[in-house]
Amino acid sequence: MNEERRQILEMLAQGQIKTDEAERLLAALEKSQPAEQPQRRPKYLRVVVESDEETKVNVRAPMQLLRAGVRLASLIPPQARARVNEAMHEHGVTLDLAQIKPENLEELVDQLEDVTVNVDDGDVKVRVFCE
Segment 8-51, tens digit of pLDDT: 888 888 999 998 898 888 888 888 776 665 667 778 888 888 88
- Return the number of other C-beta atoms located less than 10 Å from residue 22's C-beta: 16
Number of separate domains in the chain: 2
Burial-class residue 26 by CB neighbours within 10 Å (0-12, 13-18, 19+): middle
Same domain, 25 and 58: no
pLDDT of 99 above 70: yes
Tell me the C-alpha distance between 86 and 97, whole Å: 11
Question: Per-residue pLDDT averaged across 81-94, rounded?
Answer: 84
Q: Which domain holds residue 55?
A: 44-130
- Please tell me the predicted confidence (pLDDT) of residue 36: 61
Determine, yes or no, domain membership for 38: no
Same domain, 110 and 65: yes
Task: Judge if pTM exceeds 0.95.
Answer: no
